[in-house]
Amino acid sequence: MGNILQIAIDGAVFNRCMDCFLGKAAYIRNLQENVVALETELGKLIEAKNDVMARVVNTERQPMMTRLNKVQGWLSGVDAVKAEADELIRHGSQEIEKLCLGGYCSKNWKSSYKFGKQVAKKLRDAGTLMAEGVFEVVAERAPESAAVGMQSRLEPVWRCLVEEPVGIVGLYGMGGVGKTTLLTHLNNKFLGQRDFHFDFLIWVVVSKDLQIEKIQEIIGKKVGFFNDSWMKKNLAERAVDIYNVLKEKKFVLLLDDVWQRVDFATVGVPIPPRDKSASKVVFTTRSAEVCVWMGAHKKFGVGCLSANDAWELFRQNVGEETLTSDHDIAELAQIVAEECGGLPLALITIGQAMAYKKTVEEWRHAIEVLRRSASEFPGFDNVLRVFKFSYDSLPDDTTRSCFLYCCLYPKDYGILKWDLIDCWIGEGFLEESARFVAENQGYCIVGTLVDACLLEEIEDDKVKMHDVVRYMALWIVCEIEEEKRNFLVRAGAGLEQAPAVKEWENVRRLSLMQNDIKILSEVPTCPDLHTLFLASNNNLQRITDGFFKFMPSLKVLKMSHCGDLKVLKLPLGMSMLGSLELLDISQTSIGELPEELKLLVNLKCLNLRWATWLSKIPRQLISNSSRLHVLRMFATGCSHSEASEDSVLFGGGEVLIQELLGLKYLEVLELTLRSSHALQLFFSSNKLKSCIRSLLLDEVRGTKSIIDATAFADLNHLNELRIDSVAEVEELKIDYTEIVRKRREPFVFGSLHRVTLGQCLKLKDLTFLVFAPNLKSLQLLNCRAMEEIISVGKFAEVPEVMGHISPFENLQRLHLFDLPRLKSIYWKPLPFTHLKEMRVHGCNQLKKLPLDSNSAKFVIRGEAEGWNRLQWEDDATQIAFRSCFQPYP
């Protein structure tokens, strides 16, 4: 008799298991029915939205009337659900084909279950929105608080419209920043303006769902065409009618919320010419790119409020009664207002929500909720929906993935563009056919996100996320069901200990950036982890051996700016990171790289920039990294005068150059060289010269008194040049005659953006920089023999060059420190169109700056004594720059 295995199952447990199974099976069983229901419900929802929108448009035509936040939130919610539901409906038939057994099962159970669950959720969302879409009132008179900070925004736009030769003006900015409010004020300004006569003032809300018919209806009604017979005409016939009226009239057309190009010809609107007395079109949009599509003669970025205006707007919405109820509340309210980042929509929403919170505990809780999960704050989900509308409108999933990746960085963090693109490539978001192709794609995506106002450009090479945009991104990656568990972000949270490793297990991307973690003592198991950010934990002392042992999928590891001085070491077990493509230990105190890094067979990007204490990189580690595409070794090991013989850094760079020559796929190189022999080896390789982006010559041994700068002309991608402590060099020589003979345009350093020289004690000038038209940063430190930056005497032999020269056209920063013999920057005034800051210290012989009254204004920092010694081109120049000077304390 065979053995019989008997298992006793508790009835309640069995019932729960069955409920769970049947519940999941229902998503498959009801799939076809739910897809049909979703299509029907979506149609009803769109009809409801159009009805509400028509009421909003009619009401907002009245002066100072603006739609309610809850109405805008609902409209944005409908658009978001429509976009997601359309996608599900489009794929519905494909999923339904997978069903079998009369629709009760599926050929791909997991796929059908997931899809069925999404359809059911979207059906519930559509039903919820239908129920919420009943509004007795859709708009109200804009409160006085809406005018906070408005005058400074309104004046330049109005002045442009009535004083400059423009016909089309675009106002762009992120959602919730106050573009519609600004347009409302322009509407009222036109209504009250007697000097600017017009026949028609027309307001149209365009929205993402562009409908030419609706625009024509609104314009037609305004000009007297709106009747049954006119409505029966087709688009082209209506366009002719509208055009024939408007071409004879002076009109102002205000288009709110434009998402794509509105073809004026299709609508029937004559294109206003560049003429201050002509008709005007003013439109608002979330994308700077739309301003180009619309043919704007001028565009204005509508930014967030200043700190003072933001506080005033927040204060008005909270009310004095609450703010004065407790001294601590007034202080906490300042913190809450700061969390809104100057965004009017957020300031109003949160201010109104806090208006009746009169205990310190409630305000402290509000701060905690905002920092932990802004979407849990009452009413703030509507603010986030406004931004999600912009996110949903991004052109493709790749751009959306790249955007969400940015929330791994801490609040207010300036993200280097090239560093971000390195990570995107490492994650596999971008094409890998060629590095330059992938980089160009990355920069294009950065530009798209900046144009969409989802990233802010804070410097030429840096971007950041607005606080509220970052809240939205975190809301998407951490709370929306489809994205849950993909991200764990604790960046800038002030942690002294890492989260329990149990929380990491199913995470795909984890950021512990910018914390105070000292020890990583546990060994996590993270089979799905692709990206790990440990950067900017400045006090990190130890990572336990084996820490990376169970991260088989890890592709991107960032540990930059980490570690107590010369204490931190890379842990044993890093050889287990078989999928790792990007390793960043830049600006760390790590002293040596372990031999086992030779086993990282998929490593494509190694960043060792400014790892100045790194004295040992084992020989063959670089050459064994056969798939390496990017190697960044700018200022690597600079804190050590001599590396050990078993290090690739030994000998000033000769050993390193030999290893680099064997890297078949190398495309991007940043390099530090310390001997003239290494420099000669480098210049003898066309492969390395084609890769170089940044070059540092540090205490180069064996240099002559003259370095032939003409040799740098072949470095077509050289972006950054730094020369430190090259004491014997008296001249960076360039053969101007040869340049003129060989080239039509004498700009041979077209990619050079940053130049820094320090402790070059015999160098007298840097005249070669006239051939670097795109130079953005120039820093000279302790070059004690420097007399001129650009020497006029060196052009005596080639006067034909003079007509081509206008140096420093793109210069943004000029720093001059301890140059006791410097007498001249340039021999005549320069426009300095892009210069933001000039710093001058210890330049006692510099008596005149190359400025006149036509030069652009910028900040000048220096010693008061040196400023008072300056001689000026004329009194007008001195007066113009008087307010630009800021003395060192």
Per residue in 651-683, pLDDT tens? Answer: 889 999 999 999 999 999 999 999 889 999 999
Which residues, at least 6 apart from 298, have a Cβ–Cβ distance to it below 8 Å? Answer: 160, 164, 166, 169, 170
Strand partners, 280: 252
In which band, very low, low, confident or very high, does the pLDDT at 798 lie, cut at 50, 70 and 90?
low
Strands 415-416 and 462-464: what pairing?
antiparallel
* Whole-number Å distance between alpha carbons of 355 and 855: 49
pLDDT at res. 68: 75
Neighbouring CB atoms inside 10 A of 418's CB total 16
Residue 43: strand, helix, or coil:
helix
Half-sphere exposure of 766 (CA within 13 A, CB side): 24
Residue type, 885: F
Contact 880, 859 (CB under 8 A): no
Rounded Cα distance between 583 and 586, Å, is 9
Cα–Cα distance, 561 to 559 (Å, whole number): 7
Give residue for tokens 């791909």: 108
The neighbouring-strand residues paired with 701 are: 675
Q: Could you tell me which of 238, 292, 294 has the C-alpha nearest to residue 266?
A: 238
Overall average pLDDT of the 790-814 stretch: 75
DSSP annotation of 178? S
Give the pTM: 0.77
CB atoms within 10 A of CB 105: 14
Judged against a pLDDT cut of 70, whether residue 315 lies above it is answered with yes
Alpha carbons 172 and 453: distance in angstroms, whole number:
8
Closest of 120, 177, 119 to residue 153, by C-alpha: 177
Which of 88-102, 557-571, 715-729 is predicted with the least confidence, judged by mean pLDDT? 88-102
Q: What is the 3-state secondary structure (H, E, C) of 457-497?
A: EEECCEEECCHHHHHHHHHHHHHCHHHCCCEEECCCCCCCC
Residue 564 makes CB contacts below 8 A (sequence gap 6+) with: 538, 539, 540, 541, 589
Q: Which residues contact 506 (CB under 8 A, 6 or more apart)?
A: 485, 528
User: Tokens 């130049």 map to which residue?
Assistant: 755
Region of 417 on the Ramachandran plot (φ > 0 left; ψ -120 to 50 alpha; else beta): alpha
- Closest alpha carbon to 614 in 654, 665, 677, 563: 563
Q: Amino acid identity of 619? A: R
Hey, what are 164's tokens?
A: 């400059």
User: Distance (Å, rounded) from C-alpha 574 to C-alpha 552?
Assistant: 11
pLDDT tens for 263-291 read 999 999 999 999 888 899 999 999 999 99
DSSP secondary structure string for all residues of 783-814: -TT--BSS-GGGGTT-GGGGGG--TTTT--EE
Predicted pLDDT at 19: 39
Residues 6 or more apart whose CB falls under 8 angstroms from that of 77 comprise 129, 385
Q: What digits encode the pLDDT tens for the residues 601-634? A: 999 999 999 999 898 999 999 999 999 999 999 9
What does the DSSP 8-state code read for residue 304? P
Distance CA 889, CA 885 (A): 12
Reduce the DSSP state of residue 108 to 3 states and report it.
coil
- CA-CA distance, 608 to 642, in Å (whole number)? 18
Instruction: With CA atoms as reference, report the closest residue to 174 among 470, 455, 472, 458.
Output: 455
Residue 24: the pLDDT is 57
Residue linked to tokens 């000048």: 860
- Contacts of residue 457, Cβ cutoff 8 Å, sequence gap at least 6: 450, 463
Q: What is the CA radius of gyration of the chain?
A: 32
Give the three-state DSSP class for 399.
helix
Tell me which of 147 and 709 has the higher pLDDT. 709
pLDDT digits 0-9 by tens, 555-603: 999 999 998 656 688 999 999 999 999 999 999 989 899 999 999 999 9
Three state DSSP letters for 137-171: CCEEECCHHHHCCHHHHHHHHHHHHHHCCCCEEEE
Q: Return the number of other C-beta atoms located less than 10 Å from residue 443's C-beta.
A: 14
Judge whether residue 142 has pLDDT over 60: no
Local structure of 764: helix, strand or coil: coil
Q: How many CA atoms lie within 13 A of 835 on its CB side?
A: 22
Burial of 389 per CB tally in 10 Å (0-12, 13-18, 19+): buried
Listing DSSP states for 701-744 in one string gives ET--SEEEGGGGGG-TT--EEEEES-TT--EEE--HHHHHHH-S
What is the rounded average pLDDT of the residues 859-882?
Answer: 93
Q: Does residue 300 register a pLDDT over 60?
A: yes
For residues 738 and 735, what is the distance between their CA atoms, to the nearest angstrom? 5
Residue 770 has pLDDT above 70, yes or no: yes
By the 8 A CB rule, do 474 and 388 touch? no
Concatenate the DSSP letters of all residues of 633-690 into one string: -TTTTTT-S---TTBTTGGGGHHHHHHHTT-TT--EEEEEEEEHHHHHHHHT-HHHHH
Least confident window among 4-8, 56-60, 531-535: 4-8
Q: pLDDT above 70 covers what percent of the chain?
A: 87
More confident: 149 or 195: 149
